[in-house]
Homo-oligomer: A and B are copies of this chain.
Amino acid sequence: MLNFELVNPVKILFGKGEITKIKKLVPKQANVLLLYGKGSIKKNGVYDQVTQALSGHNTIEFGGIPANPEYAILLEALAIIKKENISFILAVGGGSVIDGAKFLSSAALFEGENPWDILAKRIRTDKGMPFGTVLTLPATGSEMNSGSVISRKETGEKLAMGGPGLFPQFSVLDPTVVASIPNRQLANGITDAYTHVLEQYMTYPIGADLQDRFAESIMNSLIETAPKLMDNPSDYTIAANFMWCCTMALNGLIQKGVPTDWAIHAMGHELTALHGIDHARTLAIIAPRHYAYFLDNKKEKLAQYGERVWNITEGSLEERAKKAIDKTEYFFQSLDIPTRISEYATDYSETAEKVRSALENRGWTALGEHKNVTPDAVKAIVEASY
Contact = CB atoms under 8 A, between A and B. Distances in A.
A222 to B, nearest CB: 9
Given A210-B218, A210-B244, A237-B207, A5 B1 contact: no
A14 B245 CA distance: 25
22 contacts: A3-B14, A5-B12, A5-B14, A7-B9, A7-B10, A7-B11, A7-B12, A8-B9, A9-B9, A14-B257, A15-B257, A207-B240, A207-B241, A208-B244, A209-B225, A210-B217, A210-B218, A210-B248, A211-B244, A213-B218, A216-B217, A244-B257
- Most chain B CB within 10 A, of A11, A209, A220, A237, is at A209
Interface string A190-215: 00000000000000000111110110
A9 to B, nearest CB: 4
Contacts of A218: 210, 213
A70 interface: no
- Identical chains bound together, number: 2
A10 B9 CA distance: 8
A224 interface: yes
A17 to B, nearest CB: 7
A17 B240 CA distance: 40
B12 A6 contact: yes
- Name the residue in A1, A15, A17, A220 with the highest tally of chain B Cβ atoms < 10 Å from its Cβ: A1
A18 interface: yes
